[in-house]
Amino acid sequence: MRKGEVAIDSDAIGLLKAGRNALHWSQEDLANESGVSIATIRRVESKVQSITEEVCGKFDLKPDFCVRREKIEALLRALNKHGVSVWKDETAAGLTVKTIRDQEIFEIAKQIDSGQ
């Protein structure tokens, strides 16, 4: 792993992709919003390894992908700015979506459930 890179496992990659999909964004949309190249987004989402297993082994890592920390931070900031948060605790990881569109849908659903 090169200096400044972080290892990302397949669960984290899946959450990033799910976050993009929750916003109905293409990879190009995420690239425009984050400033990260579409090529990097494609590599992350397709889980292409940027380093060899041998290098990961030296650092006792088993990632699906390694990428520069600032790229991941930029992707997460872009998603978060539009209401999508990626989280992890001791037992699970997940995605929280709080977009205006979703809030409107939930308000309509509440009205239907309450018979209004």
Residue-wise pLDDT for 47-102, tens only, equals 644 444 555 555 555 555 567 788 888 999 999 999 888 877 788 777 787 766 66
For the chain, which domains are there?
Answer: 5-113 (1.10.260.40)
Q: Where are the beta strands (DSSP E) in the chain?
A: 5-8, 65-68, 84-88, 93-97
How many CB atoms lie under 10 A from the CB of residue 33? 18
pLDDT of 18-55, one tens digit each? Answer: 889 888 899 999 999 999 999 989 988 876 444 445 55
